[in-house]
Amino acid sequence: MALQLYVGNKNYSSWSMRPWVLLKQAGIPFDEVMIRFDSFDVDSVFKQRLRAVSPLGKVPVLVDDGFAIWDTLAIAEYLAEHFPEKQLWPADARARARARSVCAEMHSGFSALRNHCPM
């Protein structure tokens, strides 16, 4: 398994930092590919470089031997499945459901907070 994590500028992209922190904290080896934000226009260098690996054109993207996963939660689930020994989710079913609830809330909610405090 050869993992590459595509991230944006770390001082702007809290999205990028989520799987980055997870990989680091779990001690899972990966190569970081930083794609600097120039703009989000369709013709930007950022979009052109990302589209080569992901149809969505957003960071983060995890690439595993050429296979792309392009959403934070999907990346987290992929890592949890492939590294069960890391115990990324709690073993207890209720604790796991609670942890997923919290992650989903953070992932798709708190937009006002995230807009005001992007990092």
Ligand X SMILES: N[C@@H](CCC(=O)N[C@@H](CS)C(=O)NCC(=O)O)C(=O)O
Per CB under 6 A, residues contacting ligand X are 8, 13, 15, 40, 58-60, 71-72
d(CA 94, CA 90): 9
Question: Whose CA is closest to 16, among 25, 28, 6?
Answer: 6
Cβ atoms within 10 Å of 47's Cβ, excluding its own: 17
* Dihedral pair phi/psi, residue 54, rounded to 5°: -140, 135
In the complex with ligand X, which residue's Cβ is closer, 15 or 30?
15
Q: In whole angstroms, how close is the CB of 94 to ligand X at the nearest point? A: 25
In the complex with ligand X, which residue's Cβ is closer, 95 or 118?
118
Residue number with the smallest Cβ distance to ligand X? 58
Q: In whole angstroms, how close is the CB of 2 to ligand X at the nearest point? A: 21
Q: In whole angstroms, how close is the CB of 71 to ligand X at the nearest point? A: 4
In the complex with ligand X, which residue's Cβ is closer, 41 or 85?
41
- 93 HSE (CA, 13 A, CB side): 0
